[in-house]
Structure 1
Amino acid sequence: MALAVAFALTVTPSAYAQVNIVFIDTEGNPVPDVIAELHISRIQAAPQDVGVIDQIDRTFVPGILLIAQGQQVRFPNSDNVRHHVYSFSDVRQFSTPLYADEEVDPILFDQAGVATLGCNIHDSMVAYVYVSEWQDRYQSDELGRIRLDNTGADVIHVWHPWLQTPGNRQEIPLTGASNNQLTIELDVRDPSQVFGFRAIREENS
């Protein structure tokens, strides 16, 4: 992993009210759906709103969903075929009935971590639910951008399913920002472009 900084001026996190971060890959392309956390304060109560992962054209939408610990997720089926959503992850193991038009009960995610989802009918369907226990949690947009609003941390903790690190996680110092801007380069590789690559690596690999 390389840390790219636009200017020579270096400031510490306490020197700015917020910082705009852009995540890029090793070729300079923006990386969407990077999950970033500041490990400062744990959530006190889960949000009441329910997360949603739809099924459209035999694809989970969105492919990565960030929620708070204790939040529920719905899995509507907007396809004209039946789906069977499941997870074998330790964070949350579940299996829905085989369903099409009807609604299934939302699933509660009460443990922090990453749940990998699949469809028992369509093996190519994969999605991830990232369950965060932290108040300050972010997900990068299609241009790889997030805006940090809290200055109480010295490092940012990131996760992405294609990140080439143990557990797909990385801890990055929050230094090197210039004019409240920071570009972070991540070693992410699209598994469809890498022969034999597993989207989720073993935690201790």
Structure 2
Amino acid sequence: MIPFNELLLFALAALVLVISPGPNMIYLISRSITQGRKAGLISLAGVVCGFLFHIILVSFGLTAILFAVPYAYTILKTMGVIYLLYLAWQAIKPGSKGIFETKKDLPDDNPAKLFRMGFLTNVLNPKVAVFYLSLFPQFIKPAYGHVLTQSLTLGITQMLISFTVNFLIVLSAARAAVWFASKPQWVRIQKWFMASVLTALAAKMALDKGK
């Protein structure tokens, strides 16, 4: 079983992922603002099913890769460090958007299309796939038990955190967008906080001795 402190660290990484601007966040906020909370929640249901798709593929894939390829852990660790530093730069680079700076002129869609678009937005989101592939191996160790069980534990943890945060954002998207628009200094604070956490996680990962 993964130690609690390691699971907490992974949860922090998952939290940073979900508050980082990306296709899922942009789609959910845009739908919630233009079409209302119900549309946002239906879209969120599709996004959650997309996470399940990623979790199943990555969990079974990592189990095979980590045992079949001797240097797979080192390769994936390097990918993870580079990816986290890339996300940190994306958060603070000139012209980067805050999480509530989204497209607001979308046409209304029916529930089936909202769910389908939420699902496809997540399934086709490389940010989620790279997150799983690069970070999961840093927390999975044979000493903690069955690799597949650990992978599924991490996946479910990430999915629950993403659902909770996105659920709250969908419920408050319209008001939050107005609040952030009137207080640009908080947007800058959010960006630098996110970049700092991502950089710290990358440093921890780079210094990790491995399994």
TM class by smaller structure = under 0.3
Q: TM-score, normalised by structure 1?
A: 0.24
Write 1 or 2 for the structure with the bigger share of helix.
Answer: 2
Write 1 or 2 for the structure with the bigger share of strand.
Answer: 1
Q: Which has the higher contact order (CA 8 A, sep 6+)?
A: 2
